[in-house]
Amino acid sequence: MEEKKHFSWKSFFVAVLTFVCAMLVIVLFGVLFGMVGLPLWPFVMLLLIYASYDGFDDERFRWSAIGAAIGLLTGMSQSVVSELSGSSVAGLVVFFLLAAVTAGSFVMGGVKWANFPMVLMLTITTVFQLTPAQLAGSASADVSAVQALGPVAVGYVVAVVLMWLFGKLVHKVGPKMGK
């Protein structure tokens, strides 16, 4: 049986302090990412995934990061292919094929990269009416889908590396905090 946790002011204070520190870190990274022209949202999404969905489990996070990258690229594929080919039909066909493979793999189950983070990133890049400039974290409205792909991909890779480093810190410091 699971033991019920009781409220303690000390635990509450630590939780609030942890939240404030996490928000300060996110603001700091937001400023740093903005200074180099990268979007912050991939970092925030990966932090959410790693800290909650994966529970700081590095093996789970590896597959989450791969799945999220596939979802992100699938979601951006229609506008990128349409722009590169000059054909909205080509963009739609490529998106449909990629979405069919990713969604089919997710529904089928047992495919490690076809996971919740993949669906989350696919949803973010397709359901919400975000312009390429918004996805890229750019203040300029004149950002094309192809131009947005670079900052989004680089921001994503930087976020994966930062989550890996954060995981190393959590695994090193975390056990010491309980003593």
Q: How confident is the model at residue 28 (pLDDT cuts 50, 70, 90)?
A: very high
Buried b (16+ CB within 10 A) or exposed e, 133-164: bebbbbeeeebebebbbebbbbbbebbbebbe
Is residue 64 a contact partner of residue 47, using CB atoms and an 8 Å limit? no
Residues 69 and 59: their CA atoms lie apart, in Å, by 16
> What spatial distance separates the first Cα and last Cα of the chain, rounded to whole Å?
24
For the residues 25-31, what does the mean pLDDT come to?
A: 91
Alpha-helical runs (H) found in the chain: 9-35, 41-48, 58-85, 88-108, 116-126, 132-136, 145-177
pLDDT value at residue 56 = 85
State pLDDT tens for residues 106-163.
999 999 999 999 999 999 999 887 889 999 988 888 999 999 999 999 999 999 999 9
Residues 72 and 48: their CA atoms lie apart, in Å, by 16
Ordered by start, the domain boundaries in the chain are: 37-177
For 34, 58, 134, 165, the CA distances from 31, given in Å and listed in that order, are 5, 27, 16, 19
Q: What is the pTM of this model?
A: 0.84
